Structure formats: structure tokens, C-alpha cells
Structure 1
Amino acid sequence: MLRAVLFDVDFTLSRPGPELGPEAYRRVGEAHGLSLDPTRYEDARLAALDDLKRHPELAHDEEIWIAFTEDIVRGMGGDAETARACAVDMVRRWEVHDHFHLYEDALPVLADLRTRGLKLGLISNGQRDLVEFARHHELDVDVAVGSMSHGRTKPHASIFQAALLALDVAAQDAVMVGDSYADDIEGARALGMRAILIDRERLFPDEADRIEGLGELSAALGLS
């Protein structure tokens, strides 16, 4: 019996705005004496993702985010002593709630699920206060568990369990919705939850339990 739906946040309900994009890197780089090339951002980001190393115990570690961002800075041409300071400034920008914008289908789908009597929650990795983020963006949810406050990152079982415990819902009665196969989908399924991949970029056409936008969620849950 479906009682709750849990959502990832970044690239599921919201996306980073221009304050966190290539031009922002260029401007912040200038403040640190760096000449960063915005056209190199995407390649630098993908290379940094390949180099990204999780904490061995999936502990939330700000240093991992700083190192990841520093890789991007250096990949954009900022291979200098001030690259780390520039990266720290960029990481701080990820803590500003106004630097994120909700997808147009985010609030309508939350409202729809709420009218059906379902409990709602957020689970997110990242360098932000997730409770304040939900309040700022008027996300009507019952619980928000962020890795910064929880201490562990997805796909660690405890971050999912913390949300389920707060909602007083068993794993088999909840669904996880997220864009990361490794973090959201595999993490939730390992606990016995159903997990639905939101695949806005159509990168996983062979995944059976997937949607391409939140507007498809109610049908995927068998509610419409």
C-alpha cells in the first residue's frame, strides 16, 4: 500500500541557476585572478565527476565537494594556487537557496500527491540546509533529510531509513523518485523500496521504472 513518496532534490525537483553555471565560474575566477573559459565547463565537470571519490563510509564530507569543484576550476583553465580558494567560493554559492530554480512540474506534482493523502519527503546529498531549502521554495513536505545534517550520503541505507522513520512508513510502502541511478535508485531498492528514475535527458531508455518528467509520476504510481 503506497503511503509515502520521497524525492531527491537536485535535478529532480530543482536545477542550479546561472549563478552556479559556466559564467559564474568565470566571474568568481576573475576575483581570484583566474581566467576561466566557460566553453570548457561541461568537459571539466564530466572529468571531475570521473575523478570524484566518495568517502569510504559514505560520510558527508565538505572537502569532497571542494575537491570536485577545484577539479572543475582547473579543468576550465584555472590551474593555479588560487584554484582552491575559487572552489570554496563556488561551493558556498551552492548553499544559497535563491541559486536554484524549481522545475515547472515540481509544485504541481507535490500538490497532486498531497491531495491523495500521501506523505512526502526529501532526501538529498549536498552542502545546504535542506529544511530551510524546502521552506524557501515552499515545498510542502513532511520531512527533509539532507546529508549535511544527517552525516551520511546516499546511497547509505541510514539516510533513507531516517526519512522513513520520521514519516512512520515502512520501506515497502514508500517510493523513491530521483535522477541518480547509483544514489537514489539502487540505494532505495536495496532497502526494499520501489524506486522510479526521473530521466529528463533520456539517458536510460532500458530502465523499466522510469519517467521523463514529474508530470508522469501519478500515472507511474497507478494514481491517475
Structure 2
Amino acid sequence: MRPRAVLFDVDFTLVKPGADLGPEGYRRLGERYGLTIAPERYGEAREQALRHLQRHPELEHDDEIWIAFTERIIRGMGGEAEGARACAEEMTRAWEHHANFDLYEDTLPVLEELRRHGLRLALVSNTGRNLEEFVAHHRLDVDAALGSRTHGRTKPSPSIFRAVLELLDVAPEAAVMVGDSLEDDVEGARALGMRAFLLDREDRHPEIEDRLPTLLALPAALGLERPG
């Protein structure tokens, strides 16, 4: 069945963190807090932090979880000093600034093509950002946008998916979810009866059947014919 709507995750799906949120951004911010941070250790530190990331038991949005996650990255990059906590708090706030993100090159072309086929579009993200303001800042043509701080619960909770579908007036079986997290986006959406695609830009999950290397592969995966 052709879908009526497509829901998108935001970070690492439609947008990527800008320079201030990357390795050099951590180094520069760390200097202000008396920390010596090694940018080359960012990748390993972030992977370690992800492995230790703990969700709220009821999947409630909890800013403290993300501050602790960021502090673990900072310490993993060598910032083992008293200022690590304050540095993590400021870096976490920086993730709420819309201008700190850049659109992937395939984002706007794919959104435009889906629109040409008459699909309704929405964003759903685990974030403290106000996604409606984020949409306006990046001039994204979508019908709805909902973040976990606004909603109160995070993906993969079915309630946040259900809330977005209600905004679109679309049933789960008529909607598709696209995101970069296997647990949050793919498994969370499928548990509600939606079809879901894993966006695997770095080719980490070749074993997944419904996998997209880029967003450009999405229209064909949905069975949409390109305009002649």
C-alpha cells in the first residue's frame, strides 16, 4: 500500500551537527573551563558514551540524561577535571540552537519530491529543541513537528509516534518512519504498526533489509515513480 505520510527523525537524518558541536567545538569550549580536550578522541569517546547511555525507565524526556552523556564524552576526550560538568551543561544547551545544524545535501530534494507525490510529512525527534522553530529556521516544508521535551516522552515510546500521527490524521499502517536509530526509529515505529526504514549513511548495518544508504533512495523504496 502506498503510504500517506512519512515521518523523519532529525539529527543525523535530515541535519548534521555543525562545527561548534563537533570535536573542535568540544576543544574550544573545554578551554573556557580549563579542560584539555583531544579532538582526535571524539569518535571513540562518543561511542563509549552511547554504550553507557541509560534511558529513563518510563521513557520520559530527561535533560539530565543528555548532560551526563555529554560529560562522559568530555571526560573520554581527556577533560577529567572539575569543569567537566559545567562544560557538559553548556554543550548540551548548544544542541538546542537551530543555527548549530546543517542540512544534509539530500534533505531538501527528497522532501520536495515527496511533496510532489502528495505525501504528508512530519518530524519526530528526541530533542530539547522547539522543533516548530527549528522547521522555520531551516525552512523545511513539513506538516507537523514534535520533540520529546515538548511531548514529554522519547522514542521509542509509542506515545510520541501516536501523537505525531494524530497531528497528521494518518493511521500507523499508512505511515512510514525514517531515521538513523535502529531501536528508537525503526523498532519503535514498527511496534506501532508503521513501516520503517533505517537510514544508514555510514554503512554500519548491512544486515538490515529496509535500509537506505542516503535519503535519495527513499522515493524508490516507497514505490514512487520519478516524474517524467
TM-score of the two chains, using structure 2 as the length reference:
0.97
Q: What is the alpha-carbon distance in structure 1 between the residues aligned to residue 187 and residue 106 of structure 2?
A: 24
C-alpha distance in 1 between matches for 2:203 and 2:40: 24
Aligned-pair CA distance for 1:78: 1.1
Tell me which residue corresponds to 1:35.
36
Q: Is 1:122 aligned to residue 115 of structure 2?
A: no
- The residue aligned with 1:18 is 19
Structure 2 unpaired stretches of 5+: none
Q: Aligned residue for 1:103?
A: 104
Instruction: Give 1:40 shift.
Output: 1.2
Structure 1 match to 2:50 = 49
| Mapped partners of 1:70, 1:106: distance in 2 | 30
Q: Structure 1 stretches of 5 or more lacking a match?
A: none
Secondary structure at the residue paired with 1:9? Answer: coil
After TM superposition, the runs of 4+ consecutive aligned structure 1 residues lying more than 3 A away are: none
- Residues 41-93 of structure 1: CA deviation (Å, up to 9, x unaligned): 11111111111100000000000000000001111111112110000110111
Q: How many residues align?
A: 224
SS at match of 1:111: helix
CA distance in 2 between counterparts of 1:48 and 1:163 reads: 29
Deviations 1:96-143 (A, max 9, x none): 111100011101111111111110000000121111111110110000
Looking at structure 2, the residues matched to 177 and 107 of structure 1 have their Cα atoms a distance apart, in angstroms, of: 15
- CA RMSD in angstroms comes to 0.8
Equivalence for 1:61: 62
1:199 and 1:23 mapped to 2: Cα distance? 25
Letter matched to residue 45 of structure 1 = R
Percent of residue pairs bearing the same amino acid type:
64
Which secondary structure does the structure 2 equivalent of 1:208 belong to?
A: coil
Please, what TM-score do these two structures have when normalized by structure 1?
Answer: 0.98
Q: What is aligned with 1:158? A: 159
**Distance in 1 of aligned mates of 2:204 and 2:177:** 19
2:73 alignment partner in structure 1: 72
Amino acid across the alignment from 2:168? L
Give the partner amino acid of 2:181: S
Hey, what's the Cα distance between the residues in 2 that align with 1:26 and 1:209? 37
Structure 1 residue 88 and structure 2 residue 89: aligned? yes
Report the equivalent of 1:191.
192
